[in-house]
Amino acid sequence: MIYVIVVTSVVAILSAVTIWKARRVRNEADFLVAGRKLPWGVLVFTLLSSWIGAGSLFAGGENAYRNGFAALWQPAGGWIGLLIIWGIAGRARRFAQFTVPDLLEARYNATARVLGTIAIVIAYTTITSYQIKAGGDILHLIFPELSRQNGMYLIAAFVIAFTAGAGMASVAYLDLVIGALVTGVVITAFPVLLHGVGGWSEVRQALPDNHFQALGSINLRQALGFMFPTMLLLIGNQSMYQKFFSARSEKDAKYAVAGWIVGTLVLETLIVAIAVVGSAKFHPENPREIIPMSARLGLPAVLGALLLGGVFAKVISTANNYLFSPATNIIHDIYTRFIDRRATERRKLVVSRLVVILLGGYALAQAAYFESILGAALYAYTVYGAAVTPVVMAVFFWKRATTEGAIASIGLGTVVTVVWNVTGSPFGIDAIYPALGVSLSSLILVSLLTAAPPREKWEPFFEKA
């Protein structure tokens, strides 16, 4: 009964926040970047919540169940990426646009904007899809009579409604509530779970030795295959840039990254540790469910319900972020840029909400296709990391990058990733290696073989405040 109460309370709180914020949305800036009024404290939790979702809680849990602490290679990519982000957060806020394709058109051209939008829609609807799948799993664990498929339908309905309600303002303040809840519960749950399974000595005895080794049962190539896609998604992550664009000031953006670094290191390490400790005693039918099962069976009822409710809320939060982001692209980067430049604010809001509904339906269809959340996560991270991240990083770090090089990089990075996965990863090589190799090579070679960009193209991204 306590699980039903907690999940019902989570949905009620999320609904209340969405209704509260939806009443304040008046124009495109309110919907897309929360009026550029978010303080750094809110930004910390919305960055943390949008980053740590089903990818960490289910894909990371599945990885830890199979490979032990070697699963930390996956979040380690994000930790490296955060060091890079620290240096560009202020400059990104100074640019103060709405989307990553805004950056691409300003630095390159409209073709780069459109190609970047296509890559983002492919990657982010995939990420949304496995949040929906994970949410269906959680509802099935709490309500066994509800099938995973029907659970997915319910989660999709929640996510679409919350996202269409108030846009970025809804997303950011939902994340504030969820991030604070999950941070406190995870920190509390780990020592309690460890004590419940008999302590560290029992965990070591129950699991193979390689679960406590740096590489475990995987090799270095596989470890880097976990790390690179995560790192590349983070440093080019549109959802993150939208949060920077929503910041009250450049200083707020920088402070938010500092808090994000601390929170990510602590939470992702504890998430993997909870999955490893839980795997010493529990063996779910689907390895991705090790953290929810550990919460349900390995913790006191109230704490387990809070952790499971927090995981449920995290899934919804992350799905909101990654559904909202491609909807923003279609409206801002295609609809108002090329189709209806004179659209009124009211029309843009109506179309924005319709696009959210359509993309939510597409994400739900993908959720039925992907069986492994870990596999779906790595695919989505690679699409984005190979197609978008190199040209975004060039915006801030390479003055010589040209429009032709950027177009080649985005197009080839997207195509190679999709084809490599459709053909079943030839030679057993992860898609990140050929996709990133082709993307970076084409960006560098084509840029060097074409005329250097004029100063006015790169100067705004390098000038000091």
Query: How many helices and strands, by DSSP H and E, does the chain display?
Result: 22, 0
In a domain, 271, yes or no: yes
In a domain, 407, yes or no: no
Both structure tokens of 58: 């289910």
pTM given for the model: 0.75
Both structure tokens of 160: 């679409």
Residue span of the structural domain in which 196 resides: 2-370
Are the C-beta atoms of residues 408 and 394 closer than 8 Å to each other? Answer: no
In a domain, 380, yes or no: no
Both structure tokens of 424: 């079943």
Q: What are phi and psi of 360, to 5 degrees?
A: -65, -40
Are the C-beta atoms of residues 326 and 30 closer than 8 Å to each other? Answer: no
Both structure tokens of 184: 């406190």
Q: How far apart are CA 444 and CA 201, in angstroms?
A: 52
Q: How far apart are CA 333 and CA 32, in angstroms?
A: 12
Model confidence at 441, in pLDDT bands (50, 70, 90)?
A: very high
In a domain, 332, yes or no: yes
In a domain, 460, yes or no: no
Q: What is the CATH classification number for the domain harbouring 189?
A: 1.20.1730.10
Q: Which residue has the higher pLDDT, 129 or 181?
A: 129
Q: What is the pLDDT of residues 392-436, one digit of tens each?
A: 889 888 999 999 999 999 999 999 998 998 888 888 888 889 999
Model confidence at 90, in pLDDT bands (50, 70, 90)?
A: low
Q: What are phi and psi of 38, to 5 degrees?
A: -80, 125
Number of domains in the chain: 1
Model confidence at 243, in pLDDT bands (50, 70, 90)?
A: low
pLDDT value for 12:
76
pLDDT value for 465:
46
Q: Which long-range contacts (CB under 8 A, 24 or more apart) does 331-334 make?
A: 331/32, 331/355, 332/28, 332/32, 332/98, 332/99, 332/101, 332/102, 333/99, 333/101, 333/102, 333/113, 333/114, 333/116, 333/117, 334/114, 334/117
Bridge partners (DSSP) of residue 156 are none
pLDDT value for 167:
53
Report the b/e string of 96-117 with b at 16+ CB within 10 A: ebbbbbbbbbbbbeebbbbbbb
pLDDT value for 449:
96
In a domain, 286, yes or no: yes
In a domain, 402, yes or no: no
Q: What is the pLDDT of residues 133-156, one digit of tens each?
A: 888 888 887 888 889 889 899 889
Q: How far apart are CA 244 and CA 253, in angstroms?
A: 6
In a domain, 83, yes or no: yes
Q: Which residue has the higher pLDDT, 304 or 14?
A: 304
Amino acid sitting at position 70: A
Mean pLDDT for the chain overall: 82
Residues 6+ apart with CB under 8 A from 31: 25, 166, 167, 168, 169, 348, 349, 352
Are the C-beta atoms of residues 185 and 304 closer than 8 Å to each other? Answer: no
Burial environment of residue 199 by CB neighbours within 10 A (0 to 12, 13 to 18, 19 or more): exposed
